[in-house]
Amino acid sequence: MRRRSLTVLMALSLLFVSACGDKPDLEGPVDEDLTVIGMCQVGAESDWRVANSESMKAIFTEENGYHLLFDDARQKQENQITAIRKFIQQQVDYIVLMPISEAGWDSVLQEAKEAGIPVILVDRRVDVEDQSLYAAHVGSDFLREGQRAATWIEQAFQEAEKPVRIIHIQGTLGSTAQLGRTAALEEALAAHENWELLVRLDGDFTQAKTYEVMTQYLSSLPGRGEIDVVYCENDNIAFGALQALEEQGYTCGRQGVNIITFDATRGALTECLNGRISLAVECNPLLGPLVEEVIQTMEAGRTPEKHHYVEEQIFTTENLSAALLERRNY
């Protein structure tokens, strides 16, 4: 039913648009049998994000029975909200949303609910009153990721009396990944009186922003600072921190400044293998198959589990090898 009206709607709008001579911004009429997915991606801020988008595009193909409308919000929530409203007008079958931050979704998700379009959350989460505003969530447990990193710091710095001096560089403020990874470090700082937070910087999950704020901070120190750990909330932050630290003459690795990172994309695992990064906590971006499982459950008229978590592990120089790196697909 929805698909037919979508085809008519698209055909009529093509007629209207071509009548006005503007370039039609809609793809051609959609084959009746395809499940139409309106997908709302954050942007392309990190290696993780690029791998996440590729995982989705590899699953939601016409051969697999889908018509994918993919929107890149370029890091702006208002672009995500505009895209959701467009998908509602186009009467897509499902909306798949990777929310940039947790706040500000109640009204637009209410509009999707009133239009009878199920919303599936991917990766980060939304903070809404009414949990029925989304059918399911597929992603990672970010608090658990951070707790794994904190446990590693405990084991790496056994001497309880020696100070552990930590720089904390956060990801996009208000995103679930930042909130979870930050909460884990905060609970560990509270539990270890010999751990000292030197500074907390906002790296916004990008290498450029981190390089800028880290260089600024290191240059403000009277001399070479005593830094034991830099807790980077994603790989691109770690790359920016590495660049700034080494430019200022610091040695990174188990004998110097211990870089901890999250995502464990190929670039970070390479630095872990060569010893510049001490710990890489995996955050699996390949969520396409899990999202498809949820959609197939709903297509079969069943109710999906509310939350689906992906399997993740940690990497250090001890458990990495070039062969393992070869086998990784992101």
Binding site for ligand GZL (CB under 6 A): 45-46, 48-49, 123-124, 140, 175, 177, 205, 234, 262-263, 283
Q: Which does 154 bind (CB under 5 to 8 A by kind): Zn ion, ligand GZL, none?
A: Zn ion
Strand partners, 231: 168, 260
Around Cβ 267, how many Cβ atoms within 10 Å? 18
In the complex, least distance from residue 178 CB atom to ligand GZL, rounded to whole angstroms = 8
Question: Measured from the CB atom, is 88 or 185 closer to ligand GZL?
Answer: 185
Question: Measured from the CB atom, is 93 or 233 closer to ligand GZL?
Answer: 233
Q: What is the SS3 assignment for 225? A: coil
Question: Measured from the CB atom, is 74 or 254 closer to ligand GZL?
Answer: 74
Q: Which does 262 bind (CB under 5 to 8 A by kind): ligand GZL, Zn ion, none?
A: ligand GZL
In the complex, least distance from residue 48 CB atom to Zn ion, rounded to whole angstroms = 29
Which class for 87: exposed (0-12), middle (13-18), buried (19 or more C-beta within 10 A)? buried
Task: Show the beta-strand stretches assigned E in 151-194.
Answer: 164-170
Question: Measured from the CB atom, is 150 or 241 closer to Zn ion?
Answer: 150
Q: Which amino acid is it at 220?
A: S
Helix (H) or strand (E) holding 190: helix 176-191
Among 54, 71, 154, 187, binds Zn ion (CB under 5 A): 154
In the complex, least distance from residue 292 CB atom to ligand GZL, rounded to whole angstroms = 18
Closest C-alpha among 124, 222, 134, 224 to residue 179 = 124
Q: Which does 263 bind (CB under 5 to 8 A by kind): ligand GZL, Zn ion, none?
A: ligand GZL
- Site size for Zn ion (CB under 5 A): 1
Around Cβ 318, how many Cβ atoms within 10 Å? 6
End-to-end CA, the chain: 39
Q: Which amino acid is it at 190?
A: A
Question: Measured from the CB atom, is 192 or 200 closer to Zn ion?
Answer: 192
Residue ranges that bind Zn ion, judged by CB under 5 A: 154
